[in-house]
Structure 1
Amino acid sequence: MALSLGQKAGWGLADMGVVVFVVVKQLLVFAYLTSVLGVPVEIAGLATTGVLIFDMITDPLIGYLSDRTHSRWGRRAPWMVVGAVVMSVGMVGLFSVPDGLTGVASLPWVLGFFVLATLGFTMVSIPYGAMAGEVTKDPTERSAMTAWRMGFASVGILIGGALIPGIAANEGYSVAALKVSPLIIGAIWLSVFATRRAPRVSKPSSVSPIRMLSLVASNRAFVILAVLYGVMTLAIALITAGLPFAAIYLVTDTGDTLLSGAAKALSVLSLMFAAFTVGSILSQAGWVFASAKLGKVGALVLGLCLYITLLYGLFLVLPSVNVTAVAGMFVLAGMTNGSYQQIPWAMYPDLMDVTSNQTGEAIEGAFSAIWLFGQKAANAIAPLILGLIVGAYGWVETTQGVADQPEAALNALRWAVTLVPAAILALSVVLLWGFYRPKAKRVLDVV
């Protein structure tokens, strides 16, 4: 049975709420620790990495439990409904550090609520990803669903990367987190409501955890794709973790360009994210079309090659005093990033079907957990890598938001958010085309 437009859009809506937290944890927590609480950059990177490693450990457990859940609402909905609340409470709490608690002394408070928030995130994201393998078996329909998902995800990026920093600058981080929490919970709950009549597997799986992992591991094409998606995510996570610092230290608004007024009203960081979001939204239909014409692998390779070119262009222009030109490049960055956002998420459910058709087992939650494992591993180590890179060149932490930085540290930041991610994406392109594509062609009619 084909999904209705409302079901496709409704499924995609949940990602708006999910991505708000993804952006917060990748973009703001590290910067909050180092620029507001005064935690040394290496310690902040290590601490956030530790929390995100914990997040990775919980993925297989939540995947296994959601596959075995039995309720009148199906296997996935209860986890998403409760997880949305847990995630929001944790996010508000981590930014509500008591007055006077700064430096390393603030870490137990921040990390405790960060752990709670990431647990809620896992409770939503694992069952949500599993739904892509349940509600339809049509690869083309999955591409359309993913386009809706990434369109709403782009709005989530705008909220997390532009709205929250803007509110935080004026009213504080805790107020900003509190104000967006209803959006997070509302998007996820409305998605559950909109897809309540979509096809689903209601019978809980009886497969043991070891057997689940064995079945996933035996799907070699899926495992390779999951690893490569993690490699791609490492590049994007480095950019995201470094962007707050780049907006402060590498892009200077002189007040005489077309978007100077917007930069002053929104902040440079918020303007860059708004530009990025516009590009991402504009690109979604184009990547669906490209996937149909070039195949999903071909379209993804094209998008990554364009991304690499764009990052090299940013390396050449940074540091810059032309905020309008940089914003224009961020529109293009959003368009190229659209391929990374959309296409892999439309690829991996096709590979889940291979195992389901061969074994008859419905273990989408296990697949979703392993799929996100590589992504979360990359997000976990990116702040640590960034902290080590800039820390090695003398980066100065502060509680004032801005500090005088050594020229060598600023140059290291420039490399870390442009050429290093470009090199990682180049490796991904080579492995996608030369290693993943031959494996996938053996089990799928279309790649």
Structure 2
Amino acid sequence: MTDAVAGLPPRPPIVFRTKALYGLGAAANIIKQRGITTFLLLFYNQVVGLPPAMVSTAIMIALIFDAFVDPTIGQISDNTRTRWGRRHPFMYAAALPVSIAFYLIWNPPVGWEHEALFAYMLVCLLTIRLFDTFFELPSSALLAELTADYDQRTSIIAIRSFCGVAGGLVMQLLVYQVFLKKNADGTGGLLERDGWQLYSIVAAITIFTIILISSAGTNHQIPYLRKPPTRKITIPAMLREVAATLNNRSFVVLTISGMFMNVSLGLKTALELYFNLYFWGLTQGQLAIMTVTGVVASIIGVTLAPIISGKIGKRYAAITMFFGAVVALLLPIGLRILGVMPPNGTPLLFGILIVDFMANGIMAIMTGVMLQSMIADVVEDSEVKTGRRSEGLLFSADNLFKKIVSGVGVFVSGVLLTFVAFPQGAKPNEVDPELLRNLALIYLPTIGGFYVVAISCLFLYRIDKSVHEENLRKLAQGALEVRTTDAQIEAGSPAATGPAGDLSPVAPRP
């Protein structure tokens, strides 16, 4: 379905510059997300001194709060009418508050009691989550409006995924090698508080700048974006619309898969630094090398994703890459438990971990590209059934369930650290090996089980290229019928009217 058919001005081709500026926006979200998921537990537990259960509880509460904010912002942005379109006002409004809150969370007051620090951390997290939603959700929803092409969506998501991963990893590299670099005399490092202030300043300014640049980079697309119909709608009617939109089989199975995947991701990201520092005994220099490896992996992943998707389809590409990424993630830990990995501190061990990290990164980013593109294809499938464009609602609802359960994953990570009695202020190479083994023995079956369920759900997804193109054909036919009816009305001919109470600009089609 072309924009001309939909009643909009003919859209000029989406050039690479537009794709790149749109994709750049993901870097702001991932810089923020990596800071919270990778470093926040370590910072507040090992540097500030909060018990891990308190830190993970605050993160879980913020994620659950964010999950319920998402559908609200999604539904509102779907139905917003302004001269700047329905997405851009929210995106611009996010820049300043999310940046200030991100700076503040890394600079908590000194000398406060645990309860006061917990409240301070929670307020900062809630503010970050709220205004991050103002940008990330409308920005993500733009994908389905920029193009309806099945393959071009994958290429745009590939660019966006690369920008997100690269931005997050570059900032992480700066943490290891600049802001909190471990000096030869033993000073500095991740457990030194002063370095976190510089990190927070640079990260906050970067997030603010990226949001403004990415939002401005798609301004010229506003005349070609869909506009919601002018209508009055009651809350019960809106709730019925939400229920009808979300009652889509392919969307439901993607959501369930995403829920199980994000429990595992929340657990993985919260404990990843613990495993790297304590289980594998890696130095900050080695972590920096792995970070650079991650950037290379993301380049390879986003390059291969559209190619693999074009050859075997998005669903089977996602399943294959997802399975491979999980194997690469869990295999080294399993082999260490079995006693067949080289000792910590040896070049051979680090070489194996680098190769494994590269393989995991390539397949993980390819999986993410496929899944985001599959969600975008649900937009037209839902529109065929409901008669409404609901990009914001679909992306926000997908995020809702993922964020709720990823909060559970972060909470579980704190519980596991508490259960194994992980010491506070622990230094690498000084933690009891038996304690680390116990942590790994609990971690592997827990995270592996959730990943198995997530992969299994993807087999039930039903929108392939042929189904998507048929959906576009039906929508084009529906738009043609609407224009014909409008022409008849202007000519004075009687026109058929839709069922009483129908709120849709185009009636749902079978």
TM over 0.5: yes
Q: Residue type of the partner of 1:213?
A: V
CA distance in 1, matches of 2:56, 2:97: 24
State the shift of 1:201 in Å.
1.6
Q: Are positions 1:34 and 2:45 aligned together?
A: yes
Q: Are positions 1:93 and 2:96 aligned together?
A: no
Cα contact 1:239–1:418 (8 A) shared by 2: no
Residues 330 and 31 (structure 1), Cα distance of their counterparts in 2 relative to 1, 3 Å cut: same
1:110 maps to 121
User: What count of residue pairs does the alignment treat as equivalent?
Assistant: 433
CA distance in 2, matches of 1:185, 1:224: 35
More off after superposition, 201-210 vs 372-381: 201-210
2:20 maps to 9
Higher-Rg structure is 2
Residues 378 and 252 (structure 1), Cα distance of their counterparts in 2 relative to 1, 3 Å cut: same
CA distance in 2, matches of 1:287, 1:144: 8
CA distance in 2, matches of 1:87, 1:416: 36
More off after superposition, 316-325 vs 26-35: 316-325
> Which residues of 2 match residues 374-393 of structure 1 at below 5 A?
374-393=401-420
Cα contact 1:18–1:121 (8 A) shared by 2: yes
State the shift of 1:298 in Å.
0.6
Match of 1:395 among 412, 422, 431: 422
Structure 1, residues 5-39: CA drift from partner, whole Å, max 9, x if none?
11222211100111111111211222212111111
Q: Are positions 1:343 and 2:374 aligned together?
A: no
2:312 maps to 294
Cα contact 1:390–1:412 (8 A) shared by 2: no
1:257 maps to none
Cα contact 1:88–1:181 (8 A) shared by 2: yes
Q: Are positions 1:210 and 2:239 aligned together?
A: yes
More off after superposition, 387-396 vs 55-64: 387-396
Residues 395 and 444 (structure 1), Cα distance of their counterparts in 2 relative to 1, 3 Å cut: same
State the shift of 1:59 in Å.
0.8
State the shift of 1:185 in Å.
1.9
TM-score (norm 2): 0.79
Cα contact 1:304–1:429 (8 A) shared by 2: yes
> Which residues of 2 match residues 324-335 of structure 1 at below 5 A?
324-335=351-362
Cα contact 1:296–1:347 (8 A) shared by 2: yes
SS of 2:219 mapped into structure 1: coil
Q: Are positions 1:139 and 2:150 aligned together?
A: yes
Cα contact 2:245–2:386 (8 A) shared by 1: no
SS of 1:155 mapped into structure 2: helix
Cα contact 2:21–2:214 (8 A) shared by 1: yes
Q: Superposition RMSD on alpha carbons, in Å?
A: 2.5
Q: Are positions 1:231 and 2:254 aligned together?
A: no
1:355 maps to 382
1:410 maps to 436
Cα contact 1:26–1:379 (8 A) shared by 2: no
1:272 maps to 290
2:204 maps to 181
State the shift of 1:248 in Å.
1.5
Q: Are positions 1:420 and 2:450 aligned together?
A: no
Q: Residue type of the partner of 1:297?
A: R
Q: Residue type of the partner of 1:248?
A: L
Cα contact 1:168–1:175 (8 A) shared by 2: yes
Residues 205 and 150 (structure 1), Cα distance of their counterparts in 2 relative to 1, 3 Å cut: farther
State the shift of 1:225 in Å.
0.8
CA distance in 1, matches of 2:148, 2:442: 40
CA distance in 1, matches of 2:208, 2:74: 21
State the shift of 1:404 in Å.
4.7
Q: Are positions 1:195 and 2:218 aligned together?
A: yes
2:330 maps to 312
Cα contact 1:75–1:202 (8 A) shared by 2: yes
Q: Residue type of the partner of 1:219?
A: N
SS of 2:48 mapped into structure 1: coil
Q: Are positions 1:366 and 2:393 aligned together?
A: yes
Residues 378 and 161 (structure 1), Cα distance of their counterparts in 2 relative to 1, 3 Å cut: farther
State the shift of 1:145 in Å.
0.5
Structure 1, residues 55-103: CA drift from partner, whole Å, max 9, x if none?
1111111112212222222111111112122211111111111222364
Q: Residue type of the partner of 1:211?
A: R
Residues 345 and 334 (structure 1), Cα distance of their counterparts in 2 relative to 1, 3 Å cut: same
TM-score (norm 1): 0.89
Q: Residue type of the partner of 2:412?
A: I
State the shift of 1:345 in Å.
0.5
SS of 1:69 mapped into structure 2: coil
State the shift of 1:370 in Å.
0.3
> Which residues of 2 match residues 235-274 of structure 1 at below 5 A?
235-253=264-282, 263=283, 266-274=284-292
SS of 1:36 mapped into structure 2: helix
Residues 355 and 187 (structure 1), Cα distance of their counterparts in 2 relative to 1, 3 Å cut: same
Residues 92 and 165 (structure 1), Cα distance of their counterparts in 2 relative to 1, 3 Å cut: farther
Q: Are positions 1:79 and 2:90 aligned together?
A: yes
Cα contact 1:275–1:331 (8 A) shared by 2: yes
Structure 1, residues 174-201: CA drift from partner, whole Å, max 9, x if none?
3201112222122222222221222312
CA distance in 1, matches of 2:205, 2:28: 9
1:281 maps to 299
Q: Residue type of the partner of 2:293?
A: A
More off after superposition, 217-226 vs 86-95: 217-226
Runs of 5+ consecutive residues of structure 1 not aligned to the other structure: 254-262
Runs of 5+ consecutive residues of structure 2 not aligned to the other structure: 1-10, 181-187, 189-193, 472-510
> Which residues of 2 match residues 145-156 of structure 1 at below 5 A?
145-156=156-167
